[in-house]
Chain A
Amino acid sequence: MVLKTKKPFLETKDLTVGFGGQVALDGVSLAADAGGIVCLLGRSGSGKTTFLRTLNRLNDEMGAYTKGSVNLFMDGRWCDILAPRTDLLNLRRKVGMVFQTPNLMPVSIAKNILVPLRLTSGLGKKQCRARMHKVLEQTQLWQEVGHRLDEPGLSLSGGQQQRLCLARCLALEPQILLLDEPTASLDFKAGRRIEELLIHMARSYPMLVVSHSPAQAERLAQAAFVFESGKVVHKLDKASIHRHLLEECITGSAK
């Protein structure tokens, strides 16, 4: 699948999320287009991760309450994912998420991909392995780890682990990708490598990427939203990201 035209894939209205008494998102309304990376910017604690986790209802696992409405364009139609009868398992398979720090299971590289794939898809052994090959190619891991798939996943480098997490999630054939600061725990080079990969993959997936630096957003994004204490304070397009970056530098409020 190649996304040709810019089409909206995400729309939220008055989205409010709280943990106990603490409000993490406060009336967020935004719409995002597919066909290029959409970045979420903002300081730490401003609610970016929480926003991502609403899109696959992972906040539910952490005892959060959610109000407002969130619509995702999946399977050729709009789905209200906060509806009470939403099939969470299906939603989470279709909305793939990669965390800020790599979170592999303490098993072999191959199993990290094969186990969830087998459990969620019910495919045969051969098909699973073929799918694994494909996603490892996609994430440019095949050349690096293809010959040692039985080694523990945790023996890989940070960047490789992060790409393996991405591959694990791609194997389930998601329709939307969420990435939470995918380069935060990596060194400069490995980070750049992931960025290239993301730009490449944004052609085939609608994608939301949380980023801690406006500079990175400038390299990646078609559009960006700036969060501040639970609210969206700016919506930026390709051109205005650069201007925003400059302003932040001049007023000194960038971190």
Chain B
Amino acid sequence: MHFSETFSRMLLYTAAIVSMACVMAVFAFLVYFAWPVLAGGEWKDLLSLNWRPFQAHYGILPMILGSMYLTVLAMLVACPLAAGVCLFCSGLGPGPAAGAVKALVRFMSGIPTVVYGFVAAFTLVPFLRSHFSGSTGYCLLAAGLILGFLILPTIVLIGLSALERVDQELSLTCSALGLSRVQSLIHVIFPAAWPGLLAAVLLGFARAVGDTLIALMLAGNAPQLPGSLFDSIRTLTAHIALVVATDSQSQAYRSVFAAGCLLFFIAAAVNITVFRVRQKFGGLSRDG
């Protein structure tokens, strides 16, 4: 074999191995630092509602629940909106308007998160503060609304590409059966595209769980269980950012790494589910 041939192969292999090693390294470091907590008996304390670092209580349960509440709320905001936008773009809206909306959604995916957070902090938050007494404005609702908008493009774009694929195969058949565009979309194309739509929703979910800035800037960051939409919460992601930034003792760090592990596993779970769904129901290439 030619030397250069072997050499160039080695180069590509190296690049691939380094890339894969990145994932392993991220995983290894997280587990390495979280291990004392996970292996020792401390995880019970970890799963308590008590976050009082100065009294050595490092419960991250409020953050886990906070992340869950916030994500569910964001999904509740984003999914109906995304469904509407998808319907509009894939045939209900007039052609040029649909194109324009699609371009706009594409553009939305390019707006920096921190800009959303900044603008919301000076518009939505004061609005909530002045209209709902007893709230600081930095609350679950504010973060949920904005986060919903943040993950909207992810869901819409992946969902649309799934719809378009199905549409190419089925739209003629539907027209031949005499279905109107609305009927065929709702009764044929949406159901036929469900694996792709599920993948879109799951990836949107992953994005929402993993987002830091919105929660950090808008949710108030109090480590407590929220009683209402107007209460302040703290998410896992924001928790990591806050604890690391404030440089408290090493015991607190461990809980942070446990939180990191948890986030990594959630991402992995979503990732594998999406992989399975796509493997089973015809591969859709992943956007982005």
Direct A/B contact, Cβ within 8 angstroms: yes
Q: Tell me the total A-B contact number using a CB cutoff of 8 A.
A: 4
Query: Considering the complex, which residues of chain A in the window 35-59 have a beta carbon less than 8 Å from any beta carbon of chain B?
Result: none
Query: Considering the complex, which residues of chain A in the window 75-111 have a beta carbon less than 8 Å from any beta carbon of chain B?
Result: 87, 89
Query: Considering the complex, which residues of chain B in the window 1-19 have a beta carbon less than 8 Å from any beta carbon of chain A?
Result: 1-2, 5
Q: Which residues of A contact B5 (CB under 8 A)?
A: 89
Minimum Cβ distance to chain B for residue A65 (Å):
20
Which are the 4 A-B pairs with shortest beta-carbon distances? A89-B2, A89-B5, A87-B1, A87-B2
Interface size bucket, B side? under 10
CB pairs A–B below 8 angstroms (4 shown):
A87-B1, A87-B2, A89-B2, A89-B5
In the assembly, what is the distance between CA of A87 and CA of B1, in Å? 6
In the assembly, what is the distance between CA of A114 and CA of B85, in Å? 52
Q: Which residue of A lies closest to B1 (CB)?
A: A87
Interface of A toward B, CB cutoff 8 Å: 87, 89
Q: Which residues of B contact A89 (CB under 8 A)?
A: 2, 5
Q: Which residues of A contact B1 (CB under 8 A)?
A: 87
Minimum Cβ distance to chain A for residue B35 (Å):
40
Minimum Cβ distance to chain B for residue A22 (Å):
18
In the assembly, what is the distance between CA of A89 and CA of B5, in Å? 9
Minimum Cβ distance to chain B for residue A92 (Å):
12
Minimum Cβ distance to chain B for residue A1 (Å):
27
Minimum Cβ distance to chain B for residue A118 (Å):
15
In the assembly, what is the distance between CA of A143 and CA of B2, in Å? 39
Q: Which residues of A contact B2 (CB under 8 A)?
A: 87, 89
In the assembly, what is the distance between CA of A89 and CA of B9, in Å? 14
Q: Which residues of B contact A87 (CB under 8 A)?
A: 1-2
Q: Which residue of B lies closest to A90 (CB)?
A: B2
Q: Which residue of A lies closest to B5 (CB)?
A: A89
Minimum Cβ distance to chain A for residue B6 (Å):
12
Minimum Cβ distance to chain A for residue B69 (Å):
47
In the assembly, what is the distance between CA of A89 and CA of B6, in Å? 12
In the assembly, what is the distance between CA of A134 and CA of B8, in Å? 33
Minimum Cβ distance to chain B for residue A93 (Å):
12
Q: Which residue of A lies closest to B2 (CB)?
A: A89
In the assembly, what is the distance between CA of A244 and CA of B5, in Å? 47
Minimum Cβ distance to chain B for residue A58 (Å):
16
Q: Which residue of B lies closest to A89 (CB)?
A: B2
In the assembly, what is the distance between CA of A191 and CA of B5, in Å? 38
Query: Considering the complex, which residues of chain B in the window 108-143 have a beta carbon less than 8 Å from any beta carbon of chain A?
Result: none
In the assembly, what is the distance between CA of A48 and CA of B267, in Å? 46
Minimum Cβ distance to chain B for residue A120 (Å):
11
In the assembly, what is the distance between CA of A212 and CA of B5, in Å? 37
In the assembly, what is the distance between CA of A217 and CA of B268, in Å? 57
In the assembly, what is the distance between CA of A155 and CA of B1, in Å? 37
In the assembly, what is the distance between CA of A87 and CA of B5, in Å? 11
